[in-house]
Chain A
């Protein structure tokens, strides 16, 4: 058994998990609930084992680095972070319909990691700039934040779907979704959590840049986009805290913010050029 096999299984396990949650939502198949959770936990554990094994394999290959250093590895970690964040959310809110709007992100991240031809999956030695413990801190903080924003986006979509038909019959599909007030609360808490981690991600990146190049901020596209994302969420939180925004507007901003996250993460690597180019390999 090697790490690629484990991570391959992870992809399908997340697909299965996402489908189960969607089934729970669409067919109101509440009986599947516990099974869906167990599959998700199992998928998460396989994902964890895959990352751990890849770490070990990198040492066997004589390179030895935390598997957080290229596009493939970051996507795998992104899926991992989404899964654990979602499991925490499910545990806290005791509502599995949330999974139908969260776990697809974990699956998509793994699927993109596994099937995209644009970047390699091999364990490659690290160039000198990447040999830093700040790399680990930077990637973990960023992707925990990104995972929260992915879930917030899912919750935002959920809110907008439910809000479209507030007068739906009580036994309709949408009635199984949490109350708008509750979704709104989840979105807010998730955004707040993500914002703290995004801030930490930008800061650890800056400290790393300073220890490698002597410049903590050089306005390269990746840095700038992470700051744009930060501005978007900062504006969102201010709109809510002090101007009492909520509901649809915050739901839309959660979606908009995540688009900015995706561009920061993906768009900059493949559409723009800059210091972060190694992320694209």
Chain B
């Protein structure tokens, strides 16, 4: 049985199936926008009742876009695209590469756009003039000698017939990229305090530990706010990568919308968490010695070489999250009363003591929240997207336009019959204008005005 006669093949190649699949995909997709996705089972029982929740679980409604039936619909959609393309592309390809100088001359007389006029002179000379006129109008022509006389042909954008198949292919490319991403990639997260390292991240949803294959360190995290004090302006982390004990990336800053990629794994700034503790730098301005500490809240810390005891004894918190606005410091160098003072977070305070002056720099310790993604399919997806846009442009706005000029010597009279005809794969109106302009330039040329 020929594939074109097979009922199953025919239905998979049909646009009817494409319309059906598109509308089913459109309507079923609504479900997941109305019923919140990926919540724990209790959520559905609480909100929809035991029976409905059970029904939902049966049909994978809580994660419907990954359910067997939704993936099945996407698969049906893909098969439809593939079969439809295999079914139609050969004919369309034929249209693109065919030699239009072999076109049946009878068919030229039936073209949607045509004009006939007469001129005296030698057919070959007229053909030369016609070729020049065609070129002048942007139509580079080829010529063939037919029994009746010369035939000229010119075409534009023959390949534009492939545009729609480029769009179909682009969808398959995007799907392929998505499959590569979901099978070979992962989505994960990590909350990494300043100064800490990790070689593991935790898969989103399951919490499964995933080894990175290298070590990531958070050197610093900063959140800045706009003048209103409430709207965050920037989250910034300085990240370093260590491999085999060697630093391969040193303190690369990342912000939202500007991630760090290393060996196919990308780290996105996503959130942060204020920690109970401070990074402190104390500098003795007289001896120029200085020391860095990471200290917890409310504990006395000693800097033995510097002869200093200090601690953070109180803090003023700005948000529910626990961002510290100001902190109260207790500072003693064993000489006289200890200094107790309030200072801003992320600031430096000069501490004047009887025998020396110190600079006290303090900033709250943060943990940076990173989203971690490995997606080897993403460039395939992007390539598919670009192909789709190009394909849509070609399919919608370019048309395959063809022009023939057939010059035949008339037996009875000493003159030639000139047939100009053409066809366009779409946008007939624009082609008609173009065709009329071309015919005008023929009829206005002196060579063709002597009949």
Chain A residues within an 8 Å CB radius of B258:
211
Q: Are A228 and B30 in contact (CB under 8 A)?
A: yes
Q: Are A203 and B26 in contact (CB under 8 A)?
A: no
Given A128-B256, A203-B388, A219-B65: A214 and B371 interface contact (C-beta under 8 Å) = yes
Q: Which residue of A lies closest to B233 (CB)?
A: A125
Q: Are B187 and A225 in contact (CB under 8 A)?
A: no
Which segment of B17-25, B144-152, B282-290, B319-327 sits at the interface?
B17-25
Given A214-B375, A219-B32, A228-B29: A125 and B228 interface contact (C-beta under 8 Å) = yes
Query: Can you offer 18 A-B residue contacts whose CB atoms are under 8 A?
Result: A125-B226, A125-B228, A131-B234, A199-B392, A203-B385, A207-B382, A210-B378, A213-B268, A213-B371, A214-B187, A214-B268, A219-B65, A224-B29, A232-B22, A234-B22, A238-B19, A239-B19, A243-B16
Number of residues of chain A lying within 8 A (CB) of chain B: 46
Q: Shortest CB–CB separation between residue A223 and chain B, in angstroms?
A: 9
Given A214-B187, A214-B373: A272 and B33 interface contact (C-beta under 8 Å) = yes
Q: Which residue of A lies closest to B38 (CB)?
A: A219
Given A228-B29, A235-B22, A242-B15: A196 and B231 interface contact (C-beta under 8 Å) = no
Q: Is the interface of A mostly helix, strand, loop or mixed?
A: helix
Give the distance in Å from the alpha carbon of A206 to the alpha carbon of B187 in the complex: 16
Chain B residues within an 8 Å CB radius of A132:
257
Residues of B246-288 whose CB lies within 8 A of A: 255-259, 266, 268-270
Give the distance in Å from the alpha carbon of A213 to the alpha carbon of B270 in the complex: 7
List residues of A whose CB falls within 8 A of some B CB. 62-63, 124-125, 127-129, 131-132, 134, 185, 192-193, 195-196, 199-200, 203, 206-208, 210-217, 219, 221, 224-225, 227-228, 231-232, 234-235, 238-239, 242-243, 268, 272-273
Q: Shortest CB–CB separation between residue A280 and chain B, in angstroms?
A: 15
Give the distance in Å from the alpha carbon of A273 to the alpha carbon of B34 in the complex: 9
Q: Shortest CB–CB separation between residue B5 and chain A, in angstroms?
A: 20
Residues of B170-221 whose CB lies within 8 A of A: 178, 187
Q: Which residue of A lies closest to B393 (CB)?
A: A196
Q: Shortest CB–CB separation between residue A98 and chain B, in angstroms?
A: 17
Q: Are A235 and B392 in contact (CB under 8 A)?
A: no
The 8 closest A-B pairs by CB, nearest first: A214-B373, A128-B256, A231-B26, A221-B33, A235-B22, A125-B226, A132-B257, A242-B15
Chain B residues within an 8 Å CB radius of A242:
15
Give the distance in Å from the alpha carbon of A234 to the alpha carbon of B22 in the complex: 8
List residues of B whose CB falls within 8 A of some A CB. 15-16, 18-19, 22-23, 25-26, 29-30, 32-34, 36-37, 65, 178, 187, 226-228, 231-235, 255-259, 266, 268-270, 371-373, 375, 378, 381-382, 385, 388-389, 392-393, 396, 429
Q: Which residue of B lies closest to A185 (CB)?
A: B429
Q: Are B385 and A215 in contact (CB under 8 A)?
A: no
Given A125-B231, A221-B33: A228 and B26 interface contact (C-beta under 8 Å) = yes
Chain B residues within an 8 Å CB radius of A210:
375, 378
Given A128-B255, A128-B257: A216 and B381 interface contact (C-beta under 8 Å) = yes
Q: Are B257 and A129 in contact (CB under 8 A)?
A: yes
Give the distance in Å from the alpha carbon of A217 to the alpha carbon of B388 in the complex: 17
Q: Are A128 and B235 in contact (CB under 8 A)?
A: yes
Give the distance in Å from the alpha carbon of A246 to the alpha carbon of B260 in the complex: 51
Chain B residues within an 8 Å CB radius of A125:
226, 228, 231, 233
Chain A residues within an 8 Å CB radius of B268:
212-214
Task: Choose among B25, B65, B396 the residue that contacts A231 (Cβ–Cβ < 8 A).
Answer: B25
Give the distance in Å from the alpha carbon of A129 to the alpha carbon of B118 in the complex: 70
Give the most central of A124, A210, A214, A239: most B CB within 10 Å.
A214
Give the distance in Å from the alpha carbon of A89 to the alpha carbon of B18 in the complex: 31
Given A212-B256, A216-B378, A221-B33: A196 and B65 interface contact (C-beta under 8 Å) = no
Q: Are A238 and B382 in contact (CB under 8 A)?
A: no
Give the distance in Å from the alpha carbon of A211 to the alpha carbon of B257 in the complex: 5
Q: Are B385 and A127 in contact (CB under 8 A)?
A: no
Chain A residues within an 8 Å CB radius of B259:
211, 214
Q: Which residue of A lies closest to B384 (CB)?
A: A203
Give the distance in Å from the alpha carbon of A125 to the alpha carbon of B224 in the complex: 12
Chain B residues within an 8 Å CB radius of A206:
381, 385
Give the distance in Å from the alpha carbon of A242 to the alpha carbon of B426 in the complex: 13
Q: Shortest CB–CB separation between residue A243 and chain B, in angstroms?
A: 6
Given A221-B33, A231-B29, A232-B26: A192 and B396 interface contact (C-beta under 8 Å) = yes
Chain B residues within an 8 Å CB radius of A124:
231
Chain A residues within an 8 Å CB radius of B373:
214-215
Q: Which residue of A lies closest to B267 (CB)?
A: A214
Chain A residues within an 8 Å CB radius of B32:
219, 221, 224
Give the distance in Å from the alpha carbon of A239 to the alpha carbon of B373 in the complex: 39
Q: Are A214 and B266 in contact (CB under 8 A)?
A: yes
Q: Shortest CB–CB separation between residue A33 and chain B, in angstroms?
A: 24
Chain B residues within an 8 Å CB radius of A224:
29-30, 32-33, 65
Give the distance in Å from the alpha carbon of A243 to the alpha carbon of B18 in the complex: 11
Chain A residues within an 8 Å CB radius of B26:
228, 231-232, 235
Q: Shortest CB–CB separation between residue B16 and chain A, in angstroms?
A: 8
- New A-B pairs, 7, CB < 8 Å, besides A128-B256, A211-B258: A128-B269, A129-B256, A131-B257, A203-B385, A210-B378, A212-B256, A214-B266
Chain B residues within an 8 Å CB radius of A192:
396
Give the distance in Å from the alpha carbon of A196 to the alpha carbon of B389 in the complex: 7
Q: Are B257 and A272 in contact (CB under 8 A)?
A: no
Give the distance in Å from the alpha carbon of A224 to the alpha carbon of B27 in the complex: 11
Give the distance in Å from the alpha carbon of A273 to the alpha carbon of B32 in the complex: 12
Chain B residues within an 8 Å CB radius of A239:
19
Chain A residues within an 8 Å CB radius of B375:
210, 214
Give the distance in Å from the alpha carbon of A242 to the alpha carbon of B15 in the complex: 7
Q: Shortest CB–CB separation between residue B174 and chain A, in angstroms?
A: 9
